């Protein structure tokens, strides 16, 4: 079974490749394409790739994910997250390829105080979240066989992410301040990739939108403290409000995702974020000796 992975040099794409190289995807034939090798904003290039091989699935890991930069680089964020998603959907429809697309908790405004369900109203408060939701709609409107997985606070031993930034800053500084009034769930990219492999291996036709993150709840302050505690970094960590650390893009204050749908549909046991963080830190240590 042939599977195309776009955005293969990014965080989630690199995670997929590591799993495949480590023997976690037996019986699956992956074709990894970085954004330089396959530009999803190029309709003709996407069409040629999807029609050149008999792909059963396309896992779209390509995205504009710089939340703050999206506020000023509107055109590029829109082109990748909306036009790119539409290009994939239209061409997957022609090639009868199932699309697995990664979306985000940022489609929600964060005004609820209970975990978000898939059918809760999407109301993004920033340009990044807006493009990701419009990308979802472009898929829904152009394709029937798709899985859209909304995830949150993705991190891993690969790419640029909060875990790696905290390790670097914790080793450089004696004191750090991290916001405590934004609450969500850290998600280890390897866990998300394994769930996608599970969906593929199940040959599921339960298409639609699903939430996926690790279990548990944390603030960014809690996440940072767990990283320092588990990794053995001594640093004075101060909790601050979002107003004390202004950013170009406003973040949702509460973006915990309800995962009942994906757990019930695919009979999943999801790890707690602290347990997965321990696994991620060990993996990080192995490649940063």
What percentage of the chain has pLDDT greater than the value 90? 96
Which pLDDT tens digit goes with each residue over 203-214?
999 999 999 999
Residue 142, pLDDT above cutoff 90: yes
Residue 149, pLDDT above cutoff 70: yes
Distance CA 12, CA 47 (A): 23
DSSP per residue, 65-98: --TTGGGT-HHHHHIIIIIHHHHHHHHHHHHT-E
Which pLDDT tens digit goes with each residue over 37-63?
999 999 999 999 999 999 999 999 999
Residues annotated as part of the active site = 128
Q: What is the pLDDT, as a whole number, of residue 121?
A: 96
User: Any idea which residue has 């969906």 for tokens?
Assistant: 199
Give the H or E element holding residue 145: none
Distance CA 211, CA 150 (A): 5
Helix then strand count (H, E) for the chain reads 10, 12
Cβ contacts of 98 within 8 Å, gap of 6 or more: 56, 57, 58, 92, 145, 146, 147, 207
**Mean pLDDT rounded to a whole number for the chain:** 96
pTM for this entry: 0.96
Let me know: does 119 contact 162? Beta carbons within 8 Å: no
Residue 289, pLDDT above cutoff 70: no
Which pLDDT tens digit goes with each residue over 265-279?
999 999 999 999 999
- List, in order of start, the domains of the chain with CATH numbers: 2-161+185-216+255-271 (3.40.50.720)
């Amino acid at each position: 079974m042939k599977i195309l992975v776009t955005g293969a040099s990014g965080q989630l794409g690199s995670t997929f490749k590591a799993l495949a190289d480590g023997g976690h995807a037996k019986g699956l034939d992956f074709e990894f394409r970085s954004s330089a090798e396959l530009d999803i904003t190029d309709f003709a290039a996407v069409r040629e790739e999807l029609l050149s091989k008999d792909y059963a699935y396309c896992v779209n890991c390509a995205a504009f994910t710089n939340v703050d930069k999206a506020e000023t680089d509107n055109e590029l964020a829109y082109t990748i997250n909306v036009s790119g998603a539409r290009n994939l959907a239209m061409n997957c429809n022609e090639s009868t390829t199932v699309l697995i697309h990664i979306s985000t908790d940022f489609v929600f405004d964060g005004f609820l105080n209970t975990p978000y369900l898939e059918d809760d109203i999407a109301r993004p408060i920033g340009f990044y979240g807006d493009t990701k939701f419009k990308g979802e709609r472009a898929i829904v409107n152009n394709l029937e066989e798709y899985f859209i997985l909304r995830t949150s606070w993705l991190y891993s031993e690969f790419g640029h992410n909060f875990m790696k930034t905290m390790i670097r800053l914790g080793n450089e500084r004696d004191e750090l301040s991290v916001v405590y009034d934004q609450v969500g769930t850290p998600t280890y990219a390897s866990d998300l990739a394994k769930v996608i492999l599970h969906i593929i291996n199940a040959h599921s036709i339960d298409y639609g939108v699903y939430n996926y993150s690790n279990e548990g709840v944390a603030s960014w302050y809690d996440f940072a403290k767990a990283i320092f505690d588990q990794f053995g970094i001594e640093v004075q960590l101060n909790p601050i409000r979002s107003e004390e650390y202004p950013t170009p893009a406003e973040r949702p204050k509460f973006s915990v995702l309800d995962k009942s749908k994906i757990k019930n549909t695919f009979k999943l046991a999801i790890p707690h974020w602290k347990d997965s963080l321990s696994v991620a830190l060990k993996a990080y240590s192995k490649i940063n000796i």
